[in-house]
Every structure is written in structure tokens, then in C-alpha cells.
Amino acid sequence: MDNLSIEQRSNLMSRVRSKDSVAEMTVRQTVHRLGFRYRLHIRSLPGCPDLVFGSRKKIIFVHGCFWHGHSCRAGQNRPASKRSYWEDKLNRNAARDRSNAARLRRNGWKVLSIWECQVRNENLARRLKTFLEAE
């Protein structure tokens, strides 16, 4: 049973953003600091990628661990109520992510997924730089 009222739950969920999350902003700032320029959220590409480096044919997705089913603790934490609804929803999200990445790769793009829990890692800048500089 939900311990929040319908209004409280609605208010809480309205603050969950699909764009400009803390994790995404951190990745964007790091990439910019490294000297790379990018475009944001190009809707014509599968999955509407978070960062698109057109001249390099590279894409970065920044995924929230819970919403995209990462293997970390936050990603494996599932709500206790409406269990089947949440399992189905989060599994569909993960399947859609895999499908979008595969479609992009078939079209010649190189894809990197950064998880929310990885943003706090001190190796983030090195990982981004290695991905973006590689041929």
C-alpha cells in the first residue's frame, strides 16, 4: 500500500525529469570541460539520445539506475506495491534501451551508456575522453 496520498504521489512524480537530471548535467559539464561540443536530445534518432556528437558519429545516453534497470543497488530496488506493474514497466524500459542502441549501431553510431551511479566515479572524465577520442 502506498503511504502517500494521490496528490502527494502526483507531486512527487511530477518532479521526476527525463531531461536535465543531475546525472545528465554532470556528464554534459564534464564533456564540455574536456573540449567536446554536442547537440542535445535529437528526437529524430532512436531513443532521443542525451548527447549527440554528429561529426564523430557518437552518442551518449545517461540512464537513471532505477528507471532503466541497472544492476546496482538502486537499479534492483523495486517498489513493493503493484509489483507486476513495475516489473513490466522497468523491463520494457530496459528492452527499449537495448533496441534503440542496436538500431543506432546498425546505422553506424557508436553508443555509450552512462549510469547514474557511475557519474560519481572519478574515472568518468577519463572514460568519456577515451570514448570520444577513439576512432
Task: Find the CATH number of the domain harbouring 37.
Answer: 3.40.960.10
On whether residue 62 sits in a domain, the answer given is yes
In 3-state terms, what secondary structure has residue 18? Answer: coil
Q: What is the pTM of this model?
A: 0.85
Which ranges in the chain belong to alpha helices (H)?
6-14, 22-33, 65-68, 73-76, 83-106, 124-133
Which pLDDT score, from 0 to 100, does residue 17 have? Answer: 66
Instruction: Copy the grid coordinates of residue 15.
Output: 518532479
On whether residue 39 sits in a domain, the answer given is yes
On whether residue 58 sits in a domain, the answer given is yes
On whether residue 7 sits in a domain, the answer given is no
Q: Tell me which residue of 1, 7, 111, 3 sits closest to 63, measured CA to CA.
A: 111
Which ranges in 48-116 belong to alpha helices (H)?
65-68, 73-76, 83-106
- Mean pLDDT confidence for 104-112: 97
What is the Cα 97 distance to its own chain's centre?
Answer: 9
Find out whether 58 and 110 touch, Cβ atoms under 8 Å. Answer: yes
| Full residue range of the structural domain in which residue 64 is found | 19-133
The domain total for the chain is: 1
Which tens digit of pLDDT belongs to each residue from 40-89?
Answer: 999 999 999 999 999 999 999 999 888 888 888 887 888 888 889 889 99
Instruction: Copy the grid coordinates of residue 31.
Output: 564533456
On whether residue 47 sits in a domain, the answer given is yes
Which pLDDT score, from 0 to 100, does residue 135 have? Answer: 80
Going by pLDDT thresholds of 50, 70 and 90, the confidence category of residue 35 is very high
Type of residue numbered 117: C
On whether residue 33 sits in a domain, the answer given is yes
Report d(CA 48, CA 134) in Å as an integer. Answer: 23
